[in-house]
Structure 1
Amino acid sequence: MIVKNESGNLRRCLQSAVGVVDEIIIVDTGSTDETCEIAWNFGAQVEYFDWNGSFSDARNCSLAKAQGEWILFLDADEELAPSSAGVLRRIIKDTSISGYSLRIENYTGDDGAPEMYPDLVFRLFRNRPEHRFQGAIHEQIASAIRLNAPEAKFGLAEDLVIRHYGYLNRQIAEKDKKMRNLRMVEAELKKNPADKLLRYHYGVELYGIGNNRQAALEFIEAANGIDCNTVYLPKLMRYLVLCYYGDKDYDAALKIIEQGLGWFPAYADLHYYQGLLYYEQQEYGLAYTAFERAVATPPQPSHFATLSGLRGFRAHYYLGLIAELFCNLEAALRHYLNSLRDNAGFIAPLECICRILKPQEDPAYARQALESVCEFSTAEAKVCIAELLINQSAYDLAYQYFSSATKNTSATSAVEIKKAICLMQLRQFSTAMTLLDSIPATDSLYRAAMFNKIVCYWLQGCQREVRHYAEAILALALNEDSAGMVNILKNNLGERSFPKVVLGKEGLFILIDVFRRTVALGEWERAITLLDGIRPECLQELDLAVGEICWQYGNMNLAEQYLNRHINKNPLSDAAYYLLAQVKEQQGLYVDAHYCYRQAISLAPKNPQSYVHLAQLYEKMRQDIVKQTMEKYQGAAALRFLQEEVEAKHVTNHHSGDDCAQ
């Protein structure tokens, strides 16, 4: 090993290796922390090396000290998997092998919820004086072995696993790896401009700092003329796709995918990114096919370095989204469930399941359905589902989960506030106030608690209390949007003669949240008075959101009013026409609904929802016409075929209902 200031990692690494290997040699390149003391405590031989800018020179210094027959080299931010000891002892008995590529599992993202992708690395080889590393960075040993012994045989040991934590966000930030590596690779390229592997690594470093365009050029240069069996070519193709995707050059990315699939037809990453590219271009049929192919790919070879979930939970999630767009809720639920089964920590599909179940309409059924597929056994899981249920205005059910989560433990301030919101929505105002009063003034969420106290009294029409708490919170340091929202509530009760407020994005978000909560209580008149408190130009930004809430809560007249207002100002709003069509359909105005769906289709011809709803509307209209005809011309022999068709349709609908229930 070579190390520098690795006290945060080294103990974990050596703990995994001690007892597995016969000898630990560590070359320190200038540590100023406890790195060397930790190494000594594990019985390591510590050597010192004056850093000269070359990783190979430092590693070769460690090789010169090694006495064993085989060399295993690790980095401090790695560890051996527990099962690797037996594998290591077994594979070195093969006298025909000069070295092995091992499986490395790279963990990326946040420490709390990391993701993993595998790869292959050459880390185990026979100890020979001629076996020495080359290259200042991304140092290589396999090529040096082959150079001295072209007949050397290399093996693959994927059951010997190294876990690598150096790509976690915290590790990268602490070490400034990106810029350090970039500078070193640039220096090496000046010495060896024809080295394609080095150019590939340069592309990776450029991609890591967001320089997609230059990275793409380096990847193309690295790929030109190389053997299709080159071990890093699949990763290179993926990186190249990601570069073009990052620059929104979708056509170029799709061309690279087509070329890459010609070489690697079962590469899940290319199928997944093809689906993602089509999805973002609203080519939903092509996207669905690509995601299905990603899911159908076999287990990926380690050298493909397939990213986490691309043939599993991520692909199933997008398949669910597309199925929802086509109004196929059964298929959507199936894919969302598959996504959860593949990764229970991926919350997005659970949120979609909650939306489909409509828990605010039938909480008991929603709970039964959710608990049939998910186990909410921990406090964290119960809080998570409760927060998703709040988003669906299922306050009673959300409160049940919050209460269960905090039954045997103290709740955080955030959970107490959310519990109070649920209680307000259940009209248990005094209990809600008790929870809000428990948040001390020193708490970072004290202002949020104070604001919800104002909302609590405002919902009850208590003008004096609203003004009292409003004055108190306005004395604190509030941003302009928060202060504006407090003033709206403060002056809303009574005569309401006050200057209208200008709200920014944050203020409008808070306003629409309070509006939704008020509507959920059935307080329509009080909810509408909220909108009177803002300037007309701000209200215009809310018309679509207000119209949608009115539609969701069954007030079709108000929904129509606000959606029409939005359309008057935004005549190209396909979303408004789509919602208005559903309002008209609910009102039984099928001809008007037909017109609105047609408008939505003309404005967003790639969105399948309007097509599906229009087809369903035509079927409704047809059934109505058939019914009217049968009633008008009862007993007419010429209409017997219609009667038979109606009866057949009734049987079909009956069986479909049974299937849906199942």
Structure 2
Amino acid sequence: MTTPSSRFRTGSVSAPTTPAERARRVLADGDRLVTVIHESLGPLVVARDAEGIIELMTVASESPDHHRYYLLLKVACGMLFEASEREKADGSFTWAWHYDLATELVMPYLEQRPAEPELLNVLGVSYYELGETPVARRLFEAVREIEPEHSQARLNLKQSRERSGIRSVPEEFTSRSRRLHAAAKRVADIATRLPQPTISLCMIVKDEEEMLPGCLEAAAKWVDQVIVVDTGSSDRTKEIALEHGATVIDYPWTGSFSDARNRSIVDATGDWILYLDADEHLVDDDGKHFTELARKTWIEGWYLVEHHYTGEFEMGGQTSHMALRMFQRRPQYKWRGIVHEQKMQDFPVYLSERFANAPVRMNHYGYLRRVVEDRSKRDRNLELLEKQLADHEDAFTNFNIGSEYGAMHDWATAHPYFERALELARSEDSLWYQQQFAPMMISRGITARRGIGDDAGALELIAEGLSLWPDFTDLVFERAIIYGGLGEMDKATAALNECLTMGDAPARYVAVQGRGSFQARAMLANIHRSRGNFDAAREELEQAFDQAPQFLPLVLEYAEVLLQRDEPEAVAAVIEKKLGDRADSPHANLLLATALYEAGHLEIADKYYARVLAAQPHNAAALIGRSELALGQQRPDDAVLLCRQVDPLDALAARAARSFFLAGVVANDDQACSEALELINASEQLSTGVRAFYTAWNARRTGTLAVLAPDAEALAQLAENLEALAKLAATDQFEALVPLLTQVLPNERERHILLGSIYLRRRFVDMAGDEFMHIAQTWGPDAQVLTALGKVATMKEMWDDAEVFLSESLTMDPNQHDARKLLGLIRERA
């Protein structure tokens, strides 16, 4: 048996013996480097081993990631400051050693990157503690000049100005700091006089002649370079880009968004990269902030406020989230991934201060291009934020976590984070409301309270917010939403009129555009519609159109109001006249087609879908809409063909796959159902429950075993498809699908309510009556059931029975607007 050589047995293989040597061995591994140095610093500080600490920080400076070096400098100085405070009690000046050493540690970094507020502040604190007030004051002034919101530097500067007659620390304890006096002042001066960094706007486009002009008109004037990568446009997209001074690069589509985005930054020369899509338009003059944002070179990435408009004004008409859209141009920052392109892998996400929210808003006008939620991205964001929270809890991190959950409409989870953020903000700083994120924190806190049903708490927070920011229109708009949800339409109307008087809130609140103008009018129009006052609704929407001609989702609202009274051809003519030059816009035609289709005017709706597809043959929303229209016209084979044309990489691919499956079912096309099911199961956009539903449905239709566990999203899909089949009068397919309801919804009473509600909406009056009467006789009546029976009786012109049912229902629950309105109409008839 052989034995190991004596070399290995004695451990003589040049094992690292000093902390610096151990750190150098892991220099390429940033996480391990931080761990090794962090663990080594403590004993060195205790031993007052200045050379050992300097040697360790020298190794840190060699890291390929300067952010790790920065982090370790903060850690080292933090340890030194804590140790110094412990030594001050003995009355001697030995504590000064720590501050003196700190000046030597941070100076090499600041000489390379002087615009670093945290380290300038650390240097200022060191000189302040050593009694060198003039130097400290200049450093604190520099911090305030480059970062006015640095609250700690503000306080430090105030104290340094008030300080006088304080004896300096004896020279024997300050040899390093005295030697660096001039360098410290020079760093402070340089930090405030750096040249203005430049910005490159980088875009990828294809067939965006409709949206690109608005994007470039709003953004191009605020940047130094515009690069547009075109992946195969067949319209005027490239010409429009050239007209706005862009460099246009032709790039064949590879199937990867990341490839195209990475190509867009190859020729960028700016210090910063700003990237937008064509249907993302900066709000008003918010772009003026870019100059100031670019100066903050210690920030790696800026989050812009993105408002996604849905056209559904009952709840405010948009969702919002913070999108990382501006970052420093560095070779390592690239996109990865095919569809859900990521860019965060190489960012210093372990340093929260390297990222900030900008007071820049952009409106996303991609209406009917469903916003694709990349859940894995949000999971990663939440994981990082939770780690930050565990390391150091503060208001801002709680706010960011709440915002992530809020973007997913998970208000029950978001709510406690917003509440904690408010609690910490109030306790951390008496001037908390002056922080940039404070208005957003209040606004989203209100939405979270509203989202969990705490309307009273939301109204209290609105009152507090308005006491701090009286011109924050969004809070009054929130009040209108709450009153509208409570059925208090007079109060909602008063709040909306107050919004119109106030106008849109100032940009400093990161406010939602239109809440003091066109959004308020659109919501007023909905209130008028609910009251049957279509003339007033029409007037409000006409004014909204005049205020926001670029806001095409108003087309849908306006058309729906006009179609209540006018013939579809007349409505289309009015809309086209109102749109003027934009009447040929594929986006406007798509919205008009949708309104006509939803109102049941299939033939003219098809004409407008055809217009969209003539201009944009691969427009997924138009292909899906026209396929659903074809089903309504009893042309299921055409519906199948239209669904097949949707690009599997399109943001609407999941929606298209579901429409494809429905078309295959109605057409009795096994091949189509098989293709659609394959697309559904391959989709990352659809939940496990949704995919399980379609698998079970396919099993039902092919006669194999169908198993479907109770699941809320599966139930929602089942109900949606039962409604669609009822609308299409596809009786056999409807009856074949109903048995799955027993599996996914075990509660028998709720099953009967769901079916009865579908029958009632589709005006299968006798079937609806049977369902609701069965519920009343088996489980007893409640307000919901009695109102439904009142509607059934009304449809059958059984006026006396209808009055009895509705009266009893309102006795049980007086807050039923529909029941009260219907009962009033019946009594007026008598």
TM over 0.5: yes
Q: Which residue of 1 aligns with 2:501?
A: 296
Match of 1:410, SS state, is coil
| Letter of the 1:113 counterpart | E
CA contact (8 A) 1:319 1:332 kept: yes
Q: Which residue of 2 aligns with 1:243?
A: 445
CA distance in 1: counterparts of 2:487 and 2:498, whole angstroms: 18
Residues 545/339 of structure 1: CA separation in 2 closer, same or farther (3 Å cut): farther
Residues 1:180 and 2:385 are matched in the alignment: no
Residues 252/548 of structure 1: CA separation in 2 closer, same or farther (3 Å cut): closer
Residues 367/176 of structure 1: CA separation in 2 closer, same or farther (3 Å cut): farther
CA distance in 2: counterparts of 1:66 and 1:609, whole angstroms: 65
Aligned identity (percent) is: 13
CA distance in 2: counterparts of 1:578 and 1:320, whole angstroms: 26
Q: Which residue of 1 aligns with 2:54?
A: none
The worse-fitting range, judged by mean Cα deviation, of 555-564 and 331-340 is: 331-340
1:216 Cα deviation from its structure 2 partner: 1.3
TM-score by length of 1: 0.57
CA contact (8 A) 2:640 2:672 kept: no
CA distance in 2: counterparts of 1:341 and 1:361, whole angstroms: 21
Residues 275/531 of structure 1: CA separation in 2 closer, same or farther (3 Å cut): same
Deviations 1:192-241 (A, max 9, x none): xxxxxxxxx964554233232232124434785x6xxx994998567445
CA distance in 2: counterparts of 1:255 and 1:108, whole angstroms: 39
Q: Which residue of 2 aligns with 1:54?
A: 119
| Letter of the 2:448 counterpart | G
Q: Which residue of 2 aligns with 1:405?
A: 612
CA distance in 2: counterparts of 1:320 and 1:581, whole angstroms: 28
Which of residues 797, 805, 815 in structure 2 aligns to 1:588? 797
CA contact (8 A) 2:606 2:626 kept: yes
What does residue range 393-432 of structure 1 map to in structure 2 within 5 Å?
A: 393-412=600-619, 415-432=622-639
CA distance in 2: counterparts of 1:384 and 1:259, whole angstroms: 39
Match of 1:308, SS state, is coil
Q: Which residue of 1 aligns with 2:39?
A: none
What does residue range 152-191 of structure 1 map to in structure 2 within 5 Å?
A: 168-171=323-326, 174=344, 180-181=352-353
Match of 1:54, SS state, is helix
Residues 1:323 and 2:528 are matched in the alignment: yes
Residues 1:209 and 2:390 are matched in the alignment: no
CA distance in 2: counterparts of 1:253 and 1:476, whole angstroms: 42
1:117 Cα deviation from its structure 2 partner: 8.2
Q: Which residue of 1 aligns with 2:665?
A: 455
CA distance in 2: counterparts of 1:484 and 1:182, whole angstroms: 48
1:382 Cα deviation from its structure 2 partner: 2.5
1:293 Cα deviation from its structure 2 partner: 0.7
Which of residues 486, 491, 497 in structure 1 aligns to 2:698? 486
CA distance in 1: counterparts of 2:676 and 2:803, whole angstroms: 50
| Letter of the 2:523 counterpart | Y
CA distance in 2: counterparts of 1:170 and 1:432, whole angstroms: 38
CA distance in 1: counterparts of 2:397 and 2:469, whole angstroms: 24
- The structure whose RCO (Cα within 8 Å, separation 6+) is larger is 1
- What is the CA RMSD across the aligned residues, in angstroms? 5.5
CA contact (8 A) 1:389 1:398 kept: yes
Residues 322/441 of structure 1: CA separation in 2 closer, same or farther (3 Å cut): closer
Residues 391/345 of structure 1: CA separation in 2 closer, same or farther (3 Å cut): farther
Q: Structure 1: which 5+ residue stretches go unaligned?
A: 1-28, 34-45, 86-106, 126-132, 138-165, 186-200, 459-465, 492-496, 622-662
| Letter of the 1:243 counterpart | G
CA distance in 2: counterparts of 1:108 and 1:308, whole angstroms: 21
CA distance in 1: counterparts of 2:223 and 2:738, whole angstroms: 68
1:176 Cα deviation from its structure 2 partner: 7.0
Match of 2:614, SS state, is coil
CA distance in 2: counterparts of 1:502 and 1:231, whole angstroms: 48
Q: Structure 2: which 5+ residue stretches go unaligned?
A: 1-61, 67-109, 122-141, 147-184, 202-217, 225-273, 300-320, 328-342, 358-392, 403-416, 682-690
1:482 Cα deviation from its structure 2 partner: 0.7
What does residue range 532-543 of structure 1 map to in structure 2 within 5 Å?
A: 532-536=738-742, 538=745, 541=750, 543=752
1:290 Cα deviation from its structure 2 partner: 1.5
CA contact (8 A) 2:286 2:507 kept: yes
TM-score by length of 2: 0.47
1:268 Cα deviation from its structure 2 partner: 1.8
1:402 Cα deviation from its structure 2 partner: 1.7
Q: Which residue of 1 aligns with 2:256?
A: none
The worse-fitting range, judged by mean Cα deviation, of 248-257 and 591-600 is: 248-257
The worse-fitting range, judged by mean Cα deviation, of 107-116 and 284-293 is: 107-116
Q: Which residue of 1 aligns with 2:280?
A: 113
CA contact (8 A) 2:503 2:517 kept: no
| Letter of the 1:451 counterpart | F
CA distance in 2: counterparts of 1:108 and 1:275, whole angstroms: 35
Match of 2:584, SS state, is coil
1:384 Cα deviation from its structure 2 partner: 3.9
Equivalent residues, number: 491
CA distance in 2: counterparts of 1:312 and 1:480, whole angstroms: 44
CA distance in 2: counterparts of 1:218 and 1:477, whole angstroms: 44
Match of 1:588, SS state, is coil
The worse-fitting range, judged by mean Cα deviation, of 301-310 and 589-598 is: 301-310
CA distance in 2: counterparts of 1:325 and 1:385, whole angstroms: 21
Which of residues 260, 273, 285 in structure 1 aligns to 2:478? 273
| Letter of the 1:180 counterpart | S
